[in-house]
Structure 1
Amino acid sequence: MNNLFRASKFSLVPAILGGVFMLSSTIGMAADFTMKIGHLESDKQSRHVHLLKVAELVKERTNGAVEFQIFPSGQLGNQREMTEGVQLGALEATVAPAAFLGGFNPAISILDIPFLLPQGDEAAQKVRGGKFGEELCASFTSKGLTCIGLWPNGRKNFTSNKPMGSIDDFVDQKFRVMDSNILIEQFNALGASAIALPFGELYTALQTGVVDGEENPLDTIQRMKFYEVQDYLVLSEHGAMEDVILFNPAAWSSLPDEYKSAITGAFEEVIPELIGHKAASVASALEEIKASDINIRNLSDEEKAAFREKMYPAAKAAFIERTGETGEKLIAVYESEYDAAVQ
């Protein structure tokens, strides 16, 4: 079974996009199928770099019949606008952070659960690219979206202005989170509290003590200069940051099967290089962070297991409360896949 997933077929609907600001990449001249793909990252970041590689592979493997036009940096709107555009057929595809999609599909919020994916890249891909990933993608079908796969985009770590030398040090600390009951419960399980704040307010909230800490990937912590107003960093890698590859159902079903296979194969093929590119970005960010006065600590494997033992059950319960029977079934698939991957 292909690790990027088979999609449902729908009737063709015209896909017309107005008000395009700037074309970032056009591959080919006379394609039979032209597909615009919008996303939020800059043209230097991992997602965009590897979307261009996918476009090149798809062009080559379809003999120029399929052309991807890639629009970075929110040129086609914010993520909600792009996702709605894909639903309505105004945009053929988007590669979206899973954290931005819970309003469209509550099932995707399973990715908010801490320590969801195994630590190693190979083990994580077994879960991401196996039956769990397939079932998670299938949950988008009823939402008017065709998901063809998941892409890794890093992992979150903890920072705080208070010590985090042990799991007990989290008690009574206040952490900023995105607006997610699952993320709130993960901190409640540690005896900490979580406050949902807009991302744009986070630097000032850390600086003024509205919250003690936050969770983000290292390259975000570096880019947003959070380390300037934080005293402690714990390299926990507790939260998976995943991208979801979404196509308009009509646009996807209009493609011949061999072109679909070429596209899903290209997205899958670049994953190891995508992981490497992201790792290099994270390593560079860590070097800049190390040059500051922040105290940095690595969680040991034993500590990660202890954090997971506390955090996972509470976050899982919050997910199931939100998603009901659908969530229970998805959790059952996930736990089976996780156990197999870490053996």
Structure 2
Amino acid sequence: MAKTTTKTLMISTTLAVSVLGSAVHAATQWNVSLWGQRRAFTEHVEKLAELVEQKTNGEFTLNLSYGGLSNNRENLDGISFGAFEMAQFCAGYHPAKNPSITVLELPFLGVNSLEKEIEVSMAVYNHPAVKKDLARWNAVLLMPSPLPQYNVAGVGDAPSSLEDFKGLRVRATGGIGAAMETVGAVPTSMSATEVRQSIDSGVISAASFAPHAHMSFGTVEAADWWTTNLNPGTVNCPVVANSDALNSLSDEHRNALLDSIDEALEYYVEYYNNQTMSKWWPTLEERNIQQVTFSEQELQRFRNSVAEPAANAWIQEMNEQGLPAEELYQLTIDTIAD
């Protein structure tokens, strides 16, 4: 009787271990490298994690890390060698690493909504040359982090004309930096997390950000003025997956991830429009921040001096790198105009 009980117990234990082993094997956890803190800029990633966990009954989870996995300028490198499975980065942080998507950061493209920013980004992301470009880093582009037009917040005397930007040290990356340079400003490229300290220490006097970032990174707390309608452009910040990790997912888990992207982006747009912007204007008023608005005539002069030269320079540089530059630029322009 004892032998039978022992044998039964051994069989039960073996089955339990086997079932447990299968459950452990079926569960998948991805590490996701972000930076800063949870904010409007990351709400689509937060929503994506929520949807994936729901759709897979907790078998597939995205563990979001705000700076604990990598420096934001090194997220693409981390993806390339599989240090984590998913990450967010901005093209302007390292244009040489992702030249194809810098077309989306050209100044004065004319994107006028978050929805259009998503549409044009996804059109470019799906171009074969862009996929090939990011594949060098073992990266698959999943979705953008759509941002509204940037504007400048600064300390000291507010600019009353474009000429007043001459000599101003301003944090501005990519095409926005190029645009600011044409009016005599001195653009400086730095990550968002470094900006407030740089303003406080006098390294820079102004920063170009979308509204949520002015709030999240504290520039609005230091600012004396803000430009309401300079609108030189925006930055493009994709969310990517490590291609090996994506390919190794089960069909169920891969579908749960990819099929959740549209819903995550819809949530992001709603959140940004209804939550972030509803706080932005009252914040300016509460802090008595001077709102600088330029005339349409002056803005048109700015656009004319920046947009076409920047596009031509980008096309020439990308052609020299072997990219189909005219094709990517025309795709961008056509999608915006559609």
Counterpart-to-counterpart distance in 2, 1:127 and 1:35? 28
Call closer, same or farther: CA 1:101–1:67 in 2, change over 3 Å: farther
SS at structure 2 position matched to 1:91: coil
Call closer, same or farther: CA 1:117–1:296 in 2, change over 3 Å: same
Give the equivalent residue in structure 1 for 2:219.
226
Call closer, same or farther: CA 1:203–1:65 in 2, change over 3 Å: closer
Please point out which of 57, 71, 79 is paired with 2:51: 57
Give the equivalent residue in structure 1 for 2:68.
75
Paired amino acid for 1:221? H
Given the alignment of the two structures, is residue 188 of structure 1 paired with residue 181 of structure 2, yes or no? yes
Asked whether the equivalents of residues 39 and 216 of structure 2 are also in contact (C-alpha less than 8 Å), the reply is no
Q: What's the CA shift for 1:336?
A: 3.7
Paired amino acid for 1:323? M
Please point out which of 246, 260, 263 is paired with 1:266: 260
Give the equivalent residue in structure 1 for 2:16.
none
Query: With structure 1 as the length reference, what TM-score do the two structures score?
Result: 0.74
Give the equivalent residue in structure 1 for 2:150.
156
Counterpart-to-counterpart distance in 2, 1:283 and 1:327? 44
Asked whether the equivalents of residues 36 and 70 of structure 1 are also in contact (C-alpha less than 8 Å), the reply is yes
RMSD, matched Cα? 3.5
Asked whether the equivalents of residues 196 and 219 of structure 2 are also in contact (C-alpha less than 8 Å), the reply is yes
Q: Name stretches of at least 5 consecutive residues in structure 2 with no aligned partner.
A: 1-22
Q: What's the CA shift for 1:87?
A: 1.2
Counterpart-to-counterpart distance in 2, 1:155 and 1:107? 21
Counterpart-to-counterpart distance in 2, 1:89 and 1:195? 30
Please point out which of 102, 120, 126 is paired with 1:127: 120
Given the alignment of the two structures, is residue 293 of structure 1 paired with residue 283 of structure 2, yes or no? no
The structure whose residues are more often helix, as a share, is: 2
Paired amino acid for 2:285? K
- Could you report, residue by residue, the CA deviation over 1:162-208 in whole angstroms, capped at 9, with x for unpaired residues? 444444544x242323565x444322322434345676665466567
Counterpart-to-counterpart distance in 2, 1:124 and 1:281? 17
Call closer, same or farther: CA 1:243–1:203 in 2, change over 3 Å: closer
Please point out which of 313, 330, 335 is paired with 2:330: 335
Number of aligned positions between the proteins: 311
Q: What's the CA shift for 1:85?
A: 2.8
Please point out which of 282, 296, 304 is paired with 1:309: 304
SS at structure 2 position matched to 1:239: coil
Given the alignment of the two structures, is residue 139 of structure 1 paired with residue 133 of structure 2, yes or no? yes
Q: Name stretches of at least 5 consecutive residues in structure 1 with no aligned partner.
A: 1-27
Give the equivalent residue in structure 1 for 2:39.
45
Asked whether the equivalents of residues 190 and 310 of structure 1 are also in contact (C-alpha less than 8 Å), the reply is no
Give the equivalent residue in structure 1 for 2:11.
none
Given the alignment of the two structures, is residue 240 of structure 1 paired with residue 234 of structure 2, yes or no? yes
Paired amino acid for 1:176? V
Please point out which of 153, 170, 175 is paired with 1:176: 170
Q: What's the CA shift for 1:29?
A: 7.4
Larger radius of gyration: 2
Counterpart-to-counterpart distance in 2, 1:290 and 1:142? 47
Q: What's the CA shift for 1:289?
A: 2.4
Paired amino acid for 1:242? N
Provide the identity percentage: 19
Q: What's the CA shift for 1:67?
A: 0.9
Q: What's the CA shift for 1:322?
A: 4.5
Asked whether the equivalents of residues 30 and 85 of structure 2 are also in contact (C-alpha less than 8 Å), the reply is yes
SS at structure 2 position matched to 1:71: strand
Call closer, same or farther: CA 1:39–1:301 in 2, change over 3 Å: farther
Given the alignment of the two structures, is residue 252 of structure 1 paired with residue 246 of structure 2, yes or no? yes
SS at structure 2 position matched to 1:159: strand
Call closer, same or farther: CA 1:225–1:272 in 2, change over 3 Å: same
Asked whether the equivalents of residues 175 and 194 of structure 1 are also in contact (C-alpha less than 8 Å), the reply is yes
Q: What's the CA shift for 1:250?
A: 1.2
Give the equivalent residue in structure 2 for 1:18.
none
The structure whose residues are more often strand, as a share, is: 1
Query: With structure 2 as the length reference, what TM-score do the two structures score?
Result: 0.75
SS at structure 2 position matched to 1:293: coil
